[in-house]
Amino acid sequence: MAKYTFETLPTQQFALRMRPHAKAVYERLIPGVKVQWLDAQNKPHHAWLDKEFGVDLFLHLPCDTIVTVQEKYREPGRYARFGDFTVEWRNAVGTPYESNGEWFKLAAQWYFYAWANADETGWERWVLMDIGRLKMLVNGGGGLSKVGRIWSNQEHGAATFYSIPWSFLRLAIMMSSERLRVLEKRRLTTMSQPA
């Protein structure tokens, strides 16, 4: 029987392949940023930050401070059609290991949520959200059960998750691939006009 480690799981291998594309987005948005993923190998406190606070990486800003980020990369074509944001509610549901999911511990400042393109050479689209605003929107809407729909995922660890429509979360979105394209196109148009 093959023994799997976290690093050899297909979902983790996919995430590792997509990291350079996420890094390119961060560098495009924040010139001079340094990206540091919190890999658990030989660094137990990195695993702890992810497990207990939902922090996947640090963005070291040029002004000598950091921003903490949670990430979710979606596989090509598989999830893009749903048009919603998903957040884990419970893990290992119905087992002795059942525990709270991502929602209960999400303490990162930003959330990078992205859908890979068909050949995994970049992103079909992505969204960068302010987690504080996300939480306040959900709170103001009466909680996850009022603003989203609960689902069960038997494929990955018998987890339950809530899906929330992007239209509800629009005020939490700081930047998106669509918005950035519009801004860059507008900037190029302005630059090409005579003074």
Torsion region of 185: left, alpha or beta (phi above 0 gives left; psi -120 to 50 gives alpha): alpha
**Torsion angle defined by CA atoms of residues 52, 57, 62 and 67, in that order, rounded to the nearest 10 degrees:** -40
Q: What is the b/e burial string over 123-154, where b = at least 16 CB atoms within 10 angstroms of the residue's CB?
A: beebbbbbbeebeebbeeeeebeebbeeeeee
Would you say 59 and 35 are in contact if contact means Cβ atoms under 8 Å apart?
yes
Is residue 38 helix, strand or coil? coil
- The pLDDT of residue 133: 97
pLDDT by residue for the chain (195 residues), tens only, comes to 455 555 667 778 888 999 999 999 999 999 999 999 987 665 767 778 888 899 999 999 999 999 999 999 998 866 555 578 999 999 999 999 999 999 999 999 999 999 999 999 999 999 999 999 999 999 999 999 999 999 998 666 689 999 999 999 999 999 999 998 888 887 776 655 565
> What pLDDT score does 147 carry?
97
Residue 12 host element (H or E): helix 10-29
In the chain, domain spans: 6-189
- DSSP β-ladder status, 34-37 and 110-116: unpaired
Contact of 24 with 121, CB cutoff 8 Å = no
Residue 30 to residue 100: CA distance in whole angstroms: 33
Reading phi first (left if > 0) and then psi (alpha if -120 to 50, else beta), residue 38 is in beta
